[in-house]
Amino acid sequence: MQYYVCDGCGDRMARHDLRYTVTVEVRAAYDEVEVGLTDLVRSHRQEILGLIEKMRDQDAKALEEQVYKKISLDLCPRCQRAFLKAPLRFHPEEATDAPPVDIDAFLRSLGFGGQ
Ligand SMILES: [Zn+2]
């Protein structure tokens, strides 16, 4: 039987159980650079060689993560509520025990889905 594992608390979720996915993209932010004529005619060779030298002994994955990192999480309903409460300080143990919303019943009450 296929199942998912909550990345917050580690609980198993059956294939058709309500679960949530969280996608976080962390990108290096740069301000726009104004390029003038002097920048275009100047040789950047030394700068580039210096940059390559600095990166030579660094881990490729760590270098990549300095620029971009995508994180995908599967969350159970309890962890989803805890995540929404404090996305930057998400702790699964702070999840409330409030019953999850019955999405199927909610959609049926709106007239969607089978009777
Ligand atoms: Zn969970």
> How much distance in Å is there from the Cα of 59 to the middle of ligand 1?
32
**Residue 105 exposed, middle or buried by CB count within 10 Å (0-12, 13-18, 19+):** exposed
Could you tell me if residue 9 is inside a domain? yes
Residue span of the structural domain in which 27 resides: 3-109
Q: pTM surpassing 0.95? A: no
> How much distance in Å is there from the Cα of 80 to the middle of ligand 1?
7
> How much distance in Å is there from the Cα of 65 to the middle of ligand 1?
26
The band of 54, judged by pLDDT with boundaries at 50, 70 and 90, is confident
> How much distance in Å is there from the Cα of 33 to the middle of ligand 1?
43
Could you tell me if residue 53 is inside a domain? yes
> How much distance in Å is there from the Cα of 82 to the middle of ligand 1?
9
Domain count within the chain: 1
**pLDDT, mean over the chain:** 86
Three-state SS across 2-47? CEEECCCCCCEEECCCCCEEEEEEEECCCCCCCCCHHHHHCCCHHH
Could you tell me if residue 114 is inside a domain? no
Could you tell me if residue 93 is inside a domain? yes
Residues around the ion ligand 1 (C-beta < 5 A)? 6, 8-9, 76, 79
The band of 18, judged by pLDDT with boundaries at 50, 70 and 90, is very high
Q: Is the backbone of residue 113 left (phi > 0), alpha (psi -120 to 50) or beta?
A: left
Could you tell me if residue 61 is inside a domain? yes
